[in-house]
A and B are shown apart, each in its own frame.
Chain A
Amino acid sequence: MKPVRRARPILAALAAAVLLAVLTFRFIDLRTDMTEFLPIGNTEAAKLMMRELRSGAATSIILIGLEGAPPDELARISQAMAARLGASGLFAFVGNGDASLDPAAEQFLFGHRYLLSPASTAEAFTPAALRRDFETLLHQLRSSAAPLAQHYGLADPPGAFLAMARVWMGESDVRSIDGVWFAAGRDRALMLVRTKTGGLDLEAQDRADTAIRAAFADAAPGGARLLVAGPAVFARDAEYGIRSDVRLLSVVSTLLVAALLLWRFRSPLVLAAIAVPILLGLTAAAWAVQVAFGFVHAIAFGFGMTMLGVMVDYPVLLIGHRKQGEAAPATLRRIGAAFNLAVASAALGLTGMVFSGLPGLAQIGVFSVVGLLSGAAATRWILPRLIVAADLAPVSAGDPARLLRIERLRDWRLWGLLPAGGAVVLLMLAPPRIEHDLANLSPVPAGARALDAELRAELGAPDVGQVAVVHGATAEAVLRREEALMPVLDALRRDGVIGGAELAARYLPSAATQLARRDALPDDAALAERIAAARAGLPFRAQAFDEFRQDVAASRDLPPVQLADIANPLILARLQPLLFARDGGWFGLVAPQGVTGRERLAAALNGVPGVTYVDIGAESNGLLAETTARAWRWLSAGAAATLLALAIGLRSPGRVVRVLGSLAAAGAVTLAVLVVAGERLSLVHIVALQFVAGVGLDYALFFARRQLDAEERARTLRTLVTCNAMTMLTFGLLMVCRTPLLRTIGLPVAVGAFSALVFAFLFAGERVARVSGVAAALAPTSRPGAAP
């Protein structure tokens, strides 16, 4: 046959596989956002909260810190930035200090003060109360604060507006220099901005980020540093991290694997043949994930690409073990049992991931398991015909004398117990620390989360540790329930259980409350009479309170303010995160600040009708504990199934012990490395270890095959070293990823794969008999296996 004609089936198969893959990746929904990557919670309220926190209005907050310069300088930069950002039109809210209401917001609130203000009570309009107000007013007019008193006091003697303004401006105890917020303990200026679009609109977040950095640069910051945090910033960073990781993994791992295979087989045709089952495997995996989850997360795809390093083992094992000119069934007969077991064990090694209950990890698991199985199936049933047609095989099995020298290493294999034993001792002395905090599994790096928590605490912004969700059929129902809750919260605040609480009803009372206030307002004639009585003996002229009278009269005709009536962006920016409609109902969030007594807070809020209290930290960590327990169960099930497969496949207790022993040694060494590296053992490590066990079995099984001649053993060794190198290279790549989850998987898998190969070679393979070693190695005939 001419080379071109021999190559034709392979090239045709490759073209078909490429076409299928291209079509598939055009069709599937590849996502990079990080919502839905962590578990969503058990209760309805928890689910709502988690969704809201990850994709709702809360994600539009950006926290900014400025440090590294004298306070005066930082205050100046903060002012300059606030002016720039406010003018940019990208932000619904820009706050950098003593909050002031913009003129439009002030006008709106002033106009509705007798409906909205907590100081608008029937009692406030009695002659006695008015008399006290007038006396205070006179006192203020005498003082240097007279301009303020004239401006607000004459039109509003009961102080309804100022009482409301105090609520709106927030009684924050944030330290302030030159009117600019500063952190309490250090020279760090603080700003809080809210983008107009949600935090998940990547392009809008890019523009916001550019605007913030440009505003900082234009403020001539000198040596000052800019710190930026917040859900939107995380989402953006995580998304860019994921994108760059996926690029890195898919391009570099493909190049590395291809280069290694080219070097090993010195044939582009082999490369083409190997690509066929891989592409088919990836295509099937992408479909499976798309069908099971409705979309494919880029992290799963990226990890799937590193699975190349494992998937590629199967075609490599087949081609690497083929003798030149051999018919396909003959190769399969020699390696078939080990091949099947290897595929089964690798697939079983992924049970922990698939059933972990963490949506992201489950996707990775499904992608990998389907990729492995379909890649192996394609290797088993399609590849043999292709390689026989093209007569692909290794150039040579390798130099038997060299093989012998390498195999002689097994004479010292007891020394191999040393690192394994050392690892076990180390693990007993310093048991791995277990990760209990779900947040540490998030795609957001720990440093960024710490900065966010720090800025939030310094700003007194509600942290998202505890929250109560108030549910109702309408916004009005939610507001009424919140009003019923306010005395409870005020009592908790007095007792020091919480520092305060943000909730919509503080800003926007229910229509019922507003109507009650409206009905309590005196009519104009009555008010005129009361004013006259109250000012008797005071130097106020009769017309001094005309504006007050007009405003009260106008308020008696005002319809109650409802969320839909509010157009002012500043007011909306405050209300929208606290009161919103979802899934046909209305929800209000009550966000306590400075919580010191979680139990008392929970006790006070639990059981109130329509109110659900969620301790998000406890909820997520409970979820993590549950997921981890589930992963352990599935891991045990996977391990038991693997054991059964091994017992059936190997049919020899001695071999089973040696195969498992080498695996256990590799596991101990990997765990020890993780401990030394200071990693906290998390769910991710557990499933990564299980995965590495599945892959590691592959090596042990091939070394443990019976009745091998030297040439076949040489083929096995060379092939396995190739497979291992590919696994190490691709999983090693994970360690340089930006996405923490991928990095976490990278270390145990790379270390585990390498130690699995070493221990499998030492323990699972048979020791070469001393006397007949050379003869046996050189003899082309098979040699009965001798147990050591």
Chain B
Amino acid sequence: MTGLAAIPERHATFREEKHLAALDVPLVSQGWLIYRRPAHLEKITTAPEPESLIVDGDTLTLAANKAAPQSVRIGRHPEVGALVDAVRGALAGDLGTLESHYRITAEGRLAAWHLVLLPTDPGVQRLVRVIVIAGAGADISSFSTVQVNGDEDSLTIATQQ
């Protein structure tokens, strides 16, 4: 965690795979992740559909291809807040933020570790079963969310040097 906390800005590419009960194939997309301390996060999807999701402080802005960008205040949506904090908390190495939403178990060693996050908030529990964050050293390598209905979303991250 201290290793994670030392890095002020990260750039990474991601590959996202969604396994949904409604679909018989996974949905795959890819793009960029940018994180800047303390609270700025960008997820820029480049393929197959361009989209940008920017979290800055308490604001989450989603801009899809044609539609006007939509902003929401994270503070008003605790479930969204818990998910955003899971990503940001992990990138920032901020164990306190993670612990405010999840019960955490850490496993593995420094070269190959993973954190298992179980939501504590009942609102989040209704949606998310577990979040698993895996990494090596100061880098995060994947981020998977398993929803209550069994749908799974995994984000594989390759940090850019």
Contacts and interface: CB of A to CB of B under 8 A. Distances in A.
Interface of A: 138-139, 141-147, 150, 154, 178-179, 539-541, 544
B117 to A, nearest CB: 18
A138 B127 CA distance: 20
A150 B23 contact: no
B48 interface: yes
B17 to A, nearest CB: 11
A540 B64 contact: no
Interface residues of B, number: 25
Contact of A154 (B22, B51, B53, B75): B22
A141 B20 contact: yes
Contacts of A178: 58, 73, 75-76
Contacts of A146: 18, 20, 153
A373 to B, nearest CB: 68
A80 B49 CA distance: 39
Interface string B27-67: 10100000000000001010011010100001000101000
Nearest to A137: B22
Contact of A143 (B23, B49, B75, B127): B49
A145 B62 contact: yes
B43 A144 contact: yes
9 contacts: A141-B27, A142-B18, A145-B64, A150-B20, A540-B22, A541-B22, A541-B23, A544-B22, A544-B23
Interface of B: 18, 20-25, 27, 29, 43, 45, 48-49, 51, 53, 58, 62, 64, 72-73, 75-76, 127, 151, 153
A540 B23 contact: yes
A150 B22 contact: yes
A145 B72 CA distance: 12
A144 B76 contact: no
Nearest to B75: A178
Contact of A539 (B24, B58, B153): B24
Contact of B29 (A142, A145, A540, A544): A142
B14 to A, nearest CB: 12
Contact of B18 (A141, A179, A544): A141
Nearest to A140: B64
B64 A143 contact: yes
Contacts of A139: 49
A144 B151 CA distance: 14
Contacts of A179: 72-73, 76
The 8 closest A-B pairs by CB, nearest first: A544-B22, A539-B25, A539-B23, A178-B73, A144-B53, A179-B76, A541-B24, A142-B27
B151 A150 contact: yes
Contacts of B62: 143-145
A541 B150 CA distance: 15
Contact of A142 (B43, B48, B127): B48
Given A154-B22, A540-B22, A541-B21, A147 B127 contact: yes
Given A141-B18, A539-B23, A540-B24, 13 more contacts: A141-B20, A142-B27, A143-B62, A144-B51, A144-B62, A146-B20, A150-B20, A179-B73, A179-B76, A539-B25, A541-B21, A544-B21, A544-B22
A304 B45 CA distance: 79
Contacts of A540: 22-24
Contacts of B49: 139, 142-143
A706 B23 CA distance: 112
B61 to A, nearest CB: 11
Nearest to A151: B127
A143 B51 contact: yes
Nearest to B53: A144
Nearest to B26: A539
Contacts of A144: 43, 45, 51, 53, 62
Contacts of A539: 23-25
Nearest to A146: B18
B57 to A, nearest CB: 11
Nearest to B76: A179
B136 to A, nearest CB: 26
Nearest to A144: B53
* Most chain A Cβ neighbours within 10 Å, of B45, B62, B76: B76
A142 to B, nearest CB: 5
* Most chain A Cβ neighbours within 10 Å, of B24, B29, B48, B153: B24
Contacts of A143: 45, 49, 51, 62, 64
B76 A141 contact: no
Contacts of B151: 150
Nearest to A542: B24
A141 B24 CA distance: 13
Nearest to B127: A147
B76 to A, nearest CB: 5
A141 B53 contact: no
A614 B10 CA distance: 64
A37 to B, nearest CB: 44
Nearest to A76: B75
* Most chain A Cβ neighbours within 10 Å, of B22, B25, B43: B22
Contacts of A541: 21-24
Contacts of A154: 22
Nearest to B153: A146
A145 B127 CA distance: 14
